[in-house]
Chain A
Amino acid sequence: MIGVISYLVFFATMAGILAIVVLGLNLQWGYTGLFNGGVAAFFGAGAYVTMLLGGRPEPGQFGGFLAPFPVAIVGGILFAGLIAWFFGVLTLRLRHDYLAIATFGVAIALESVARNAEWLTGGAKGLRGFPRPLEATITALGGGDNFLYGLFFLALVLAVLAAVYVGLERLTRSPYGRALRAIREDEAAARSLGKNPVRLRLESFVIGSMIMGAAGGLYVAFYAYVGPQDLAPILTFQVWAMLIVGGAGNNRGAVLGAFLIWAAWTASGFALAALAPQAMQLYTGPIQYILIGSVIVGMLLWRPQGILPEQIRQQGRN
């Protein structure tokens, strides 16, 4: 039983981290209509910089400054914001599919840097060894068992998730949020009302990317490892699937989508491994891909607005 709980805690931690990324994307796509095809880049930027600042020193390797976790993750968030600002200034005049391609290119470029700039990023072997926040203290409290630390880390992730959620809810219900939606729906109309679309789009892009960077920082603390594989386009795809299934333009939908898709992703592997006959075990991997794909396609056909669609209120509740 304790094993199942321990696994569920682990699962929820990863799902929580992904939910934070999805919330970041929801601000960009759901509210502002920015098609960010490079989610992995901003997640990875946060992850790498958090690791460089907070990791342990290693011979012949840049970084490992052993900064306290809050400092390290803030560094990661700021760096994710910085590159979002830099590439945002360059590309945000692009619309829709053009922006998607440009941001996809940014992600590929950053993955390439991570894979090749060995002195900085450890190259293909990645960076490892991250002192997790308060690990020694809490593990000692739990009598040397790391289950308690797992719970603590889950609580940390959920706290960040809740903070991001509340912050975004307030932001998107404020007049600022309405301005973002106005730009999404009709940029010319928004401009005619005196809104500055370029500036608002850039702000939304940077804030969303910083949220993704925060998730990257938590990810590094969780795995104590980051490598170029973590920046692979599959992450961008997973996060998009979560947002579309959950419901773009709805923060609750974004969180729900993250947990549902990640559960489907992992549970399908678990169920196939448990149920498939021995002779079929070798084929469960590809079958799992087919199942995941079918779920997403099914959702798009059956409920394209997502499980929890966007709710436009005539008047804000607050």
Chain B
Amino acid sequence: MKREISGIVAAAALAVLAQTGGAAAQACSVNVGVVYPTSIDWGKPIAATTLWVADMVNEAGGVDGCKVETTLRDDQNDAKVGVDAAKALVDISKVRLLIGTVASGITIPILTSVSVPAGTMQISCCSSTTRLTALAAEGATKGLWFRTFATSRVQGSVAAMAAKDAGYKKVAVFYKNDDWGQDLGKLAAAAFRASGIEVTAQIAISDGQPGYRAEVTQALAGKPDAVYLALYPKEGISVVREWLSLGGTNKMIGANSLKSDDFRNTVGVQHLANFIGTDTSTPRTDSAKGFVAAYTAKFGKPPAGPGLPNSFDATAIALLAYSAAGKDATGAQIAAKVPMVTDPKGEKANGDVEGFKKALGLLKQGKAVSFQGATGALVFDKNGDVSAPAVLWTFGANGIDEKRYIPLEDVEAFIAALK
């Protein structure tokens, strides 16, 4: 009898111990640094998406059983401020995973003078410059760098594909005068020429001008039968208004940055009947539709700004890789687990709480996962870049309609044929 009692006591003690053990596991946390331009209108939703993913991962059990504690810093679109914020996160908060940022002019110095020297993994939703590919190719990023923004090459090429299919012969190119726009404008112009389409003008559009009459007049002089727009909604609206009012064609091809209700409503949908948009996401997959639905439910409006699905995927993939590498992993160890999260042969897991639960469980058992993100099933190449299937879209009566889906293989084949 006495032995029995002591047995029960021991069992109870064990149970208590086990429970405290469990509580301790939940009480642990991993710090993740986030640097985004939160004080800028389009930057805030990008950051909000990242925090939302972290919440979902926490709900699904957290990174390796630990709560994800995000520290969000504003880079103010100023390299000094952004690099300082990243340095504080890495040195003081000891983060081994850094998510950010948008402007390549800030991402590059953070990467080269903070993340890489400290061995921190860095992933960005939106930095687009080809310079980052060059950096990775020469080994300066030590495999610590990833981005979920498909390089502009895909979009530039698909624009040419759309123009060719529509039978356009002469195209004028407007591009936003920043690193993203210069890259995309140049790549698109090269793709147009390679497909036998004449590029009548390549015109830079700088931000914040009251009007763009001079630029538009210059483009009209070449008498193009279509116009290509690598612009953000704000300048896009001004340029397109002037363009149409001066008698420019309404045959337009636009980059994914114009996928915005603002642009659609302000220009007027009746003027956008012949507008073809390009994008690199794969709205075919259930996960992408799931993202739109979940985002709309969470924020009360559809994801209509640049970089939101990319921000979603960057955070999700990084946190899953962190979990696979374990809560004490170094940046390099987290980076090494990224292929395990994006393994095309792995079991599919969606970007919702259920999907994260499933993915976290599989990763814990050492099994590979194919994460089905908001931009589809991403795979990073050796430079941390993603290629992606493409989609052509239009402005319909009730929003944005998909026109044509171009699978990854077709995109790659078209790009190969251009060379």
Contacts and interface: CB of A to CB of B under 8 A. Distances in A.
A298 interface: no
A266 B85 contact: yes
A91 interface: no
Interface string B112-142: 1100010000000000011100010000100
Contacts of A288: 39, 74, 76
B105 A7 contact: no
Interface stretch (B175-183, B241-249, B329-337, B349-357): B175-183
A219 B78 CA distance: 14
B131 A128 contact: yes
A281 B78 contact: no
Contacts of B105: 124-126, 225, 227-230
B95 to A, nearest CB: 11
Secondary structure at the B interface, as helix, strand, loop or mixed, is helix
A286 B109 contact: no
B72 interface: yes
A224 B135 CA distance: 13
B73 A282 contact: no
The contact size tier of chain B is 35 or more
Contacts of A115: 177-178, 206
A304 interface: no
Interface in B65-88: 70-74, 76-81, 83-85, 87-88
B79 A230 contact: yes
Interface of A: 3-4, 6-7, 10-11, 14, 112, 115-116, 118, 123-126, 128-129, 146, 222-225, 227-230, 232, 234-235, 265-266, 269-270, 273-274, 278, 281-286, 288-289
Q: Which 4 A-B pairs have the closest CB atoms?
A: A285-B74, A285-B39, A285-B38, A227-B105
A284 B38 contact: yes
Contacts of B74: 269, 284-285, 288
Nearest to B178: A124
B182 A124 contact: yes
B91 interface: yes
Nearest to A292: B76
A282 B87 contact: no
Interface string B79-108: 111011101101110100000000111101
Contact of B91 (A6, A126, A289): A6
Residue among B84, B90, B130 having the largest count of chain A Cβ atoms under 10 Å: B84
A289 B105 CA distance: 21
Contacts of A274: 71
Residue among A4, A11, A116, A123 having the largest count of chain B Cβ atoms under 10 Å: A123
Contact of B135 (A11, A128, A222, A284): A128
Nearest to B44: A282
